[in-house]
Amino acid sequence: MPDISMLARYPFLPEIREYVGNISIEELLNSSQYGEAKTLGLSMVFNAFKEEDTMYVTEPFTKLLAYHVAKLFLIALQDPIITQRFANRMRDKIEEHLLGENDEIVEIVANAFRIKFKKPSKEISEMHLQHRNYLVFRLTHFTDFVRYASRLSGENFRLLNQPLLQGWIPVSREIFIKLIREAFVQKFVREIEDRKNDASLLKKYFEEEIKKVREIKNEFIASYSPATLGSVEPRAFPPCIQSILNQLKEGMNLPHQARFYLVTFLHKIGLKNDEILKIFSTVPDFREDMTKYQIAHITGKISGKEYSVPKCETLRAYGLCVRDIAKDKLCMKEWMSHPLLYYKLRKEYFSKHSKSSEGQ
């Protein structure tokens, strides 16, 4: 049975029922007895828009309750951007804690998310150390690997780069922990969305705070919003770019290829790196320094190598082409092979159209 200090680090484990099962929502959110937990839980959500998270309370029971207050607050809010930012902040803490835990605790947390894994044989461990230069921690079933690695950037998380041993993928301890943290994010976000029917009941406990956190979010986004897109014509964006931008607006985490494609496209049509940066401000794990670096890298400011915009064929392989969903006539043309061609044609159309209507 995990002890209370461990549960404070992982307050989503099922064993917390032992401690909080008898506390009603009314008591938790209204009683002065839990006032400190409520304050802390609310500040955890407000802090999702700050660079650094400060948590001064060290008493484990209060921390555990604070997580549940934060969760109820997010259910009342039903704001995907705030939920994602909070989940990402928790995700980073979970990863940090797990890296310092013993293997038994890592397995307990993995089991809480029903991640399928098993211990590797000695031969597999040694073979990997020799050929791939890392120690195999666990074998993860490929279905879970695909499910949780899809949002992670880097060669280590591409299925094609993994040795598949009868459906199992050998992973290092660090990668196993990354899969756990992504499992947390997916489960947490789903739970908040699934409880949208409880939002109206919970709102009465958070009236002031809902206004405050929305202001914080809007200020944060406004501080990065591009004032103008210059000569860029957003109406001419191909459906695949529109779809990525919509996901960004909803605060969704984008896969690596989508981010890469968006940067190459926006750069090529003439947006400056600062303007591209602003477009990424709603990404839940937005960090100005890191995003700036990635944009500079893709646009050739650091490496000298400017990456080109992927063709439609490549975008289809990445799963980023939405032609069949959007049923866009231009995309359906046999000769439509590149999103920049789409943009050029549509931009010309809009420019002619606006000129002819000016002349009328």
174, 158 Cβ separation under 8 angstroms: no
CB 343 to ligand SF4: min, Å: 8
CB 321 to ligand SF4: min, Å: 3
82, 217 Cβ separation under 8 angstroms: yes
Tell me: does residue 342 bind ligand SF4 (CB under 6 A): yes
Q: What part of residues 214-253 is at the interface with ligand SF4 (CB under 6 A)?
A: 238-240
Tell me: does residue 261 bind ligand SF4 (CB under 6 A): no
Residue number with CB closer to ligand SF4 (186 or 242): 242
Phi-psi region of 141 (alpha: psi -120 to 50; beta: other; left: phi over 0): beta
Tell me: does residue 255 bind ligand SF4 (CB under 6 A): no
Dump the DSSP string for 28-94.
Answer: HHH-GGGHHHHHHHHHHHHGGGSSS-------HHHHHHHHHHHHHHHHHH--HHHHHHHHHHHHHHH
Q: Please tell me the count of residues contacting ligand SF4 according to CB under 6 A.
A: 12
CB 257 to ligand SF4: min, Å: 12
Q: What's the residue count for the chain? A: 360
Residue number with CB closer to ligand SF4 (41 or 339): 339
Residue number with CB closer to ligand SF4 (11 or 238): 238
CB 336 to ligand SF4: min, Å: 5
Q: Which of helix, strand or coil describes residue 304?
A: coil
Q: What part of residues 298-317 is at the interface with ligand SF4 (CB under 6 A)?
A: 312, 315
CB 309 to ligand SF4: min, Å: 10
Which is it for the CA torsion 225, 241, 307, 298, positive or negative? positive
Residue number with CB closer to ligand SF4 (168 or 342): 342
**Nearest by Cα to 167 from 141, 149, 148, 136:** 141
Candidate list 323, 345, 347, 349; residue touching ligand SF4; CB under 6 A: 323
Residue number with CB closer to ligand SF4 (8 or 240): 240
Tell me: does residue 331 bind ligand SF4 (CB under 6 A): yes
- Order across the sheet with 138-141: list the strands: 117-118, 138-141, 168-171
Residue with tokens 């670096």: 293
Residue ranges binding ligand SF4 (CB under 6 A): 238-240, 312, 315, 321-323, 331, 336, 339, 342
